[in-house]
Amino acid sequence: MRKLLLNTALVLLVAASCARKEEEPLRPSLVVEGWIDSGGHPVVLLSESLPLRDGAFKREDVISRVARWAKVSVDDGSGEVILTGRLDQNYFPPYVYTSSEITGEPGKSYDLKVEYKDYLATARATIPEPVPLDDIYLTQTNDTTWSVNCVFTDPPQPGQYYRIFAKKTGTDNRYQPAPLAYASDEGMSGRTEMKLWTVQRLLSPMPFPDFHTGDELWIKFCTMERSTYYFWYNYEVSSVTNANGMFWFDSDMDSGLKGAVGYWAGYGASEYKIAIGPKKDDGDTDTATDPQP
């Protein structure tokens, strides 16, 4: 069976697309989108799958599938903490489970358990050590638009996986995936660059490039486990090959989550804020602005 996931940053909704008799009901799936950043608190979004009919759905259909009365817990090895569900307009649908009682630490593992109706979903995520950015510089693509270049040094030990999320002040309430901004360190060593052109937003056309003079951009540069990296890799490939921007997710794709579809990720996260445009000190239009952690 194939499932269709729409992105909020990525996934909160699943639509079934199976070759079955039209009258045969489709059993919904539980969909989990969850993560914990180093220095941050756990965030979990839950919903049930939504059958996609004739390639369309309404906003209220999505909201009606949100799992509002689930028991969601995270155990960091020192005890289980029950997350609190609450409205949060920074997300769509605007409902999240979180708790300030747990803060992510590099090297630690976090066990997620979700109990909802007859669903039981479990997963373990470990937060890798963050890798900081050495530099961020801009390349002007035309009179008013820019690409963003992130420079970092890959550690000598193997097994590093990277992805960049970004948000524009005044446009995005939360971090969204930066298309094509992902890498593993297979064949990589030392100083490396990753480029950002745009941000991938739910059900919106993807402007390319998307960063204009005067914009304020937040960048979250993340290390992650192999399973999370390949989850995002498959998402990226599917998004590029589907013109409608929807993600075809095979239910047997291993993201480390059992009993549901989606992911539970631990991110070694470094955050930066930059101003898009020429440096204010010399007016040079093709040099970088300095990142502010």
Query: For residue 188, what pLDDT is reported?
Result: 80
- Three-state secondary structure call for residue 230: helix
Positions of CATH 2.60.40 in the chain: 133-224+271-275
Instruction: Taking residues 175-190, report their average pLDDT.
Output: 87
Quote the strand ranges of the chain, DSSP E.
2-6, 13-16, 30-37, 43-48, 71-75, 80-82, 84-87, 95-98, 109-116, 119-126, 133-140, 145-154, 161-168, 176-184, 190-196, 211-212, 216-223, 247-250, 261-275
Query: For residue 161, what pLDDT is reported?
Result: 96
Query: For residue 93, what pLDDT is reported?
Result: 80
Cβ neighbours, 10 Å, residue 185: 18
Query: For residue 254, what pLDDT is reported?
Result: 60
- Where do the H-state alpha helices sit in the chain? 59-64, 226-241
Name which of 53-57, 90-94, 149-153, 198-202 the model is least confident about. 53-57
Find tokens 């290390």 and name the residue. 223
Phi/psi class of residue 280: alpha, beta or left (left: φ > 0; alpha: ψ in -120 to 50)? alpha
C-alpha–C-alpha distance, residues 234 and 240, integer Å: 10
- For domain 133-224+271-275, the CATH class is mainly beta
Cβ-Cβ contacts under 8 Å for 33 (sequence gap 6 or more): 8, 9, 10, 11, 12, 44, 45, 46, 262, 263
Instruction: Taking residues 262-285, report their average pLDDT.
Output: 83
C-alpha–C-alpha distance, residues 258 and 242, integer Å: 26
Query: For residue 51, what pLDDT is reported?
Result: 67
What is the value of pTM for the model shown? 0.85
Whether 24 has a pLDDT exceeding 60, the answer reads no
pLDDT, tens only, 151-167: 999 998 889 999 999 99
Comparison of pLDDT for 91 and 52, the residue scoring more = 91
